[in-house]
Structure 1
């Protein structure tokens, strides 16, 4: 333990003298989170322009459900049938497995036809409740994505309703013409009310049972703050690799290995020191989101009910970043090689892991490859806690992957150190 603390103290003193490294670790992620959030604030509404999958649970199996699904296919929405229950579908949306879902309850077509028949019978001004369709969204999806899907589902529902009204009206007029009966008094007013009043409404909800609006659910700051904090954390790999290479080239590493200290203790000391640096990084960026963003016209960064629940994802992400830095320094032979390779890998992992662009907005191949990025595991943990409102237990699988990744990196570095 004493060797670990001594090694960590040495690393912190070296970092304190590296002013360029301090700027990269602290100023760069703060600048990125401010600039990117300001830019995204105005362009989020432009998203949702490509074909998107929407899970549809069709318990109705009637003409309204079939017509609605057909119209969705023509509106750049790919309707994917859901075979489970409504509760399972809600859980899938909350977990982020489905970004959008539509639930068609049993008997929806029959209730809509009854309402149309009442209007045709002269009860067009009745205040009977509209047919409500449950449209669920993953709370982590952006506003533009949700608004685009909501508008397409609403247009598909209205088009299907108008088609059913026209069909019922044609059948009624044909029956009246065959019986030789007049259309009835006030038929013009009835028809105008029939086609002007919509009988279907879209109930936009999150994956949770409580309904809330898009603006109340999604705060882009809640995603950008942890995303760019993670980006800055993984850039600590370059200073860590730099200290390892400097010690190796100056001969300090050879003297350290001559001491009665295990190489893994020295490597763990480096990770322990930079673990504190990564935690300070996240706290700094979170404070910027809480106190600076409101003065820039942005929403404030909102902490969960239990802020300590963020400690596990922050520490696990920091361990993964530090483990990658130690492995990078053990594998590379020069600082130039480590800085180039480290920056390239971090930027590629960030792009592939959903830091720059959400994973659901990527092509299918990139969505499958994103599971290989440690930053994807980390941002999923923060999204579950901050945006989806899930308990911290739901982050355990991703936390386990981050810790395992750190352990693998440390073992590889240990083997290289002995070699």
Structure 2
């Protein structure tokens, strides 16, 4: 029961933060509209429009930033102050960081599932048609990884500003080598091999295969890799997290 109360508190804290709401609802549509409009002449008469292409990629890019939302949910100043009493509550240290992780994941799942559904049904973007549920599942598992990744950095750094500053480096690596803004394959064989280390690249390639080729050959491997990476992040969080450092 205590865990559910903490979880509810963290979830409501996200809903009370306008910046987090905007970043995870309106921001993806702004990115899609901007990139789609700017690059539409590059796609010509192609069956894949610029809005379709960047609809997928900008959604994945926005999801990659969920790690920042997790950091805010975990260590935003007013949350830290309000949770001093948790140190004295009958809950395990895992309950403390898991409540932040799960509340962020629930919020992200609701937001991005709605974004994908709205983009396909109202704005007629191609997110797989009948395969939309599979793309949603892929995005939701990527969300889980992002939440675990952000939580892990908070547990390591013990400070929101420091966590976000350091976390931006691997997130920037994932995004750049994920090729969401331009085809990374143009930079040569070596760079293309490095890009295989990026979860953004896994998700992007898997999504496009499902949407345009009805190809599910890498669907389960990508999901498994993301889940395994999420578990690793949780294990690291459990090892390094100390509640007394969280509330101080």
Q: TM-score, normalised by structure 2?
A: 0.84
SS in 2 for 1:386: helix
- Say yes or no: does 1:402 pair with 2:226: yes
Identify unmatched segments of 5+ residues in structure 1: 46-142, 144-214, 295-299
Match of 1:255 in 2: 85
Match of 1:227 in 2: 57
Distance in 2, Cα, partners of 1:220 & 1:388: 18
RMSD: 2.7
Q: Deviations over 1:33-80 (max 9, x none)?
A: 1111122211246xxxxxxxxxxxxxxxxxxxxxxxxxxxxxxxxxxx
Larger-Rg structure = 1
Distance in 2, Cα, partners of 1:225 & 1:30: 8
Identify unmatched segments of 5+ residues in structure 2: 244-248
Distance in 2, Cα, partners of 1:288 & 1:358: 27
- Say yes or no: does 1:271 pair with 2:101: yes
Q: Deviations over 1:180-227 (max 9, x none)?
A: xxxxxxxxxxxxxxxxxxxxxxxxxxxxxxxxxxx44x3444432232
Distance in 2, Cα, partners of 1:415 & 1:285: 35
- Say yes or no: does 1:329 pair with 2:159: no
Taking a change above 3 Å as real, the CA distance of residues 234 and 278 of structure 1, as seen in their structure-2 partners, is: same
Distance in 2, Cα, partners of 1:3 & 1:406: 24
- Which structure has more relative contact order (CA 8 Å, sep 6+)? It is 2
Please identify which structure carries the higher strand content.
Answer: 1
Q: Deviations over 1:303-338 (max 9, x none)?
A: 332432224312211111101110122122433323
Distance in 2, Cα, partners of 1:22 & 1:226: 20
Distance in 2, Cα, partners of 1:18 & 1:254: 20
* Offset at residue 406 of structure 1 (A): 1.0
Distance in 2, Cα, partners of 1:221 & 1:244: 34
* Offset at residue 27 of structure 1 (A): 2.3
Distance in 2, Cα, partners of 1:219 & 1:249: 43
Q: Which piece of structure 1 moves more, 222-231 or 321-330?
A: 222-231
Taking a change above 3 Å as real, the CA distance of residues 304 and 288 of structure 1, as seen in their structure-2 partners, is: closer
Match of 2:177 in 1: 352
Taking a change above 3 Å as real, the CA distance of residues 416 and 227 of structure 1, as seen in their structure-2 partners, is: same
* Offset at residue 400 of structure 1 (A): 0.9
Assess if the C-alpha contact under 8 Å between 2:56 and 2:127 holds in 1: no
Match of 1:21 in 2: 20
* Offset at residue 404 of structure 1 (A): 1.1
Match of 1:308 in 2: 133
Decide which of 229, 236, 239 is 1:412's aligned counterpart: 236
SS in 1 for 2:233: helix
* Offset at residue 402 of structure 1 (A): 0.7
Distance in 2, Cα, partners of 1:238 & 1:411: 20
Pairing 1:70-149 to 2, within 5 Å after superposition: none
* Offset at residue 29 of structure 1 (A): 1.8
Match of 1:160 in 2: none
SS in 1 for 2:129: coil
Match of 2:70 in 1: 240
| Count of residues in correspondence between the two structures | 243
Q: TM-score, normalised by structure 1?
A: 0.52
Taking a change above 3 Å as real, the CA distance of residues 5 and 356 of structure 1, as seen in their structure-2 partners, is: farther
Distance in 2, Cα, partners of 1:222 & 1:406: 29
Taking a change above 3 Å as real, the CA distance of residues 341 and 284 of structure 1, as seen in their structure-2 partners, is: farther
Q: Deviations over 1:244-263 (max 9, x none)?
A: 22479845555324333222
Please identify which structure carries the higher helix content.
Answer: 2
